[in-house]
Amino acid sequence: MLRAPDLFRSSLVLATALLVSLSAGPLGAAEASPAAERAVIEKVVTDAYVDGVHNFRDPAAMRRGFHPSFEMLSLRDGKLARLTLDNWIEGMEARNLKEPPPKFSPDAPRETTAKFVAVEIAGTAATCKVEIWRGGKQLFTDFLALYQFADGWKIVGKTFYRHP
């Protein structure tokens, strides 16, 4: 049988443990579930890449979801070419001056859509295989690499296949 001081101490320890577990998040989980992480990654890719690049040509959206050190690698005539985020955005801004992009609206129709074929996550690293579609035609199969930083998931690299 517990004495009053021991009972008080046990109750205090139990209450402290309960508060700590509740402050850690749902069910005391310190990390998001795989499904929740996948949803976050898909949102980053959709906002920064699908909408930021293809639908609205929005450099600010790209900068939010792409890491500043991002590089896209492409194979042209058997040779590897690199494109940095800054170079990609410069090209987009030049195009936007000639042909104004569609205005962003959450309700705006999306001409380009994405199908997430695979999302693989291991700790703070992830890859996405994404199909890019427009007008019923597949344009690209993209392979995106992401890392999770203190401010969230960022796209750090891209390789792709352009469908004929």
What are the domain boundaries of the chain?
1-30, 32-162
Contact 58, 110 (CB under 8 A): no
Confidence (pLDDT) at 21: 35
What would the CATH number be for the domain defined by 32-162?
3.10.450.50
> What is the rounded (10 degree) CA torsion for 149, 151, 152, 157?
-60
42-56 per-position pLDDT tens digit = 999 999 999 999 999
Side-chain-side CA neighbours of residue 36 (13 Å): 6
60-104 per-position pLDDT tens digit = 999 999 999 999 999 999 999 999 999 999 999 999 999 988 877
What's the CA gap between 141 and 160, in Å, rounded? 6
C-beta neighbour count of 156 within 10 angstroms: 19
pTM of the model: 0.78
pLDDT band at 28 (very low <50, low <70, confident <90, very high): very low
- pLDDT > 70 in the chain, percent: 80
Instruction: Give the ranges where the chain is alpha helix by DSSP (H).
Output: 4-23, 34-44, 59-65, 85-98
Contact 140, 28 (CB under 8 A): no
What 3-state class would DSSP assign to 93?
Answer: helix
Mean of pLDDT values over 146-154: 98
